[in-house]
Amino acid sequence: MDHVQGFWKPTGLTSFDVIRKLKTYIKNVKIGHSGTLDPFAEGVLIICFGKATSQVERLMNLNKTYIGTIQLGETTDTLDTEGKITDSQPIPAISDELINSVLSEFTGDISQIPPMYSALKKNGVPLYKLARKGKIVPREPRKISIYKNRLISYSRDKITFEVECGRGTYIRTLASDISIKLGTVGYLIKLVRTKIGIFDETNSIRVENIPQWISTID
């Protein structure tokens, strides 16, 4: 079985949970994914089978599209719903025009400091392991590419936006940086990866439909 397929990961599961589920049905076949999706997020996860796992690196370079919702006025240590509230600040007067102006500043080739709660390593140790021990270490800014960053909706304390970006972009960090630029703090309360390359919700297999999908392939 040499195959590349998009799957729709639900919230609450890790990317490896999806692979473990696949392995209960597919034996003796190498399986790998091309880009982790956080447990609190849902959306497209590309998984490679057999010899197709050699394509993982290439697939990780594909553009990705996300829709995220920011909770303004509070932030967490993980910058998402998995963490603990660490700060709260008033929300200043904000308009759609101001948000659009700020989003435009986070478009193109920009620098981003990776979050502590990430799988990046410092001296061989994943940052999230250091963060869980209360250790904060310096991280070098990294160049990322954001091709589209548009406002979908704004209410009193929530912003929903759509981002198309290149490899290595942390949407959690982007949400935090946008909030700070707006004069407050914020964190992601919802994240959906709607597209990677050619895969989107219409051609990705839902986890509950894995048995039926497997029955259609060799």
> Minimal CA–CA distance to 42: which of 199, 190, 213, 203?
190
- Same domain for 120 and 140, yes or no, is yes
pTM of the model: 0.93
**And the tokens for 176?**
């935090």
Catalytic residue status for 38: yes
CATH of the domain at 90: 3.30.2350.10
Go through the chain and tell me how many residues it has.
Answer: 218
Confidence band for 208, pLDDT divided at 50, 70 and 90? very high
Residue 8: is its pLDDT beyond 80? yes
Question: Which region among 1-10, 71-80, 82-91, 111-120 has the lowest average model confidence (pLDDT)?
Answer: 111-120
- Same domain for 81 and 103, yes or no, is yes
Confidence band for 191, pLDDT divided at 50, 70 and 90? very high
Question: What integer pLDDT is reported at residue 122 of this predicted model?
Answer: 78
- Same domain for 130 and 74, yes or no, is yes
Classify the C-alpha dihedral 213-214-216-218 as positive or negative: positive
Out of 38, 77, 80, 177, the active site residue is 38
Question: What integer pLDDT is reported at residue 9 of this predicted model?
Answer: 96
Domain count across the chain: 2
Confidence band for 27, pLDDT divided at 50, 70 and 90? confident
121-134: pLDDT as tens digits: 877 888 888 888 88
- Same domain for 74 and 42, yes or no, is no
- Same domain for 160 and 184, yes or no, is yes
- Same domain for 167 and 70, yes or no, is yes
Q: What is the pLDDT averaged over residues 123-147?
A: 87
- Same domain for 155 and 165, yes or no, is yes
| Whole-angstrom distance, CA of residue 173 vs CA of residue 180 | 11
Residue 112: is its pLDDT beyond 90? yes
Domain range spanning residue 140?
64-195
- Same domain for 169 and 99, yes or no, is yes
HEC per residue, the chain: CCEEEEEEECCCCCHHHHHHHHHCCCCCCCEEECCCCCCCCEEEEEEEEHHHHHHHHHHHCCCEEEEEEEEECEEECCCCCCCCEEEECCCCCCCHHHHHHHHHHCCEEEEECCCCCCCCEECCEEHHHHHHCCCCCCCCCEEEEEEEEEEEEECCCEEEEEEEECCCCCHHHHHHHHHHHCCCCEEEEEEEEEEECCEECCCCEEHHHHHHHHCCCC
Residue 56: is its pLDDT beyond 70? yes
| Whole-angstrom distance, CA of residue 151 vs CA of residue 199 | 23
Beta bridge mates, 9 = 43
- Same domain for 74 and 151, yes or no, is yes
Question: At which residue do the structure tokens 């946008």 appear?
Answer: 178
Position 136: which residue type? I
| Whole-angstrom distance, CA of residue 116 vs CA of residue 96 | 30
Question: What integer pLDDT is reported at residue 126 of this predicted model?
Answer: 82
Question: At which residue do the structure tokens 């060799």 appear?
Answer: 218
- Same domain for 33 and 91, yes or no, is no
- Same domain for 144 and 168, yes or no, is yes
- Same domain for 77 and 172, yes or no, is yes
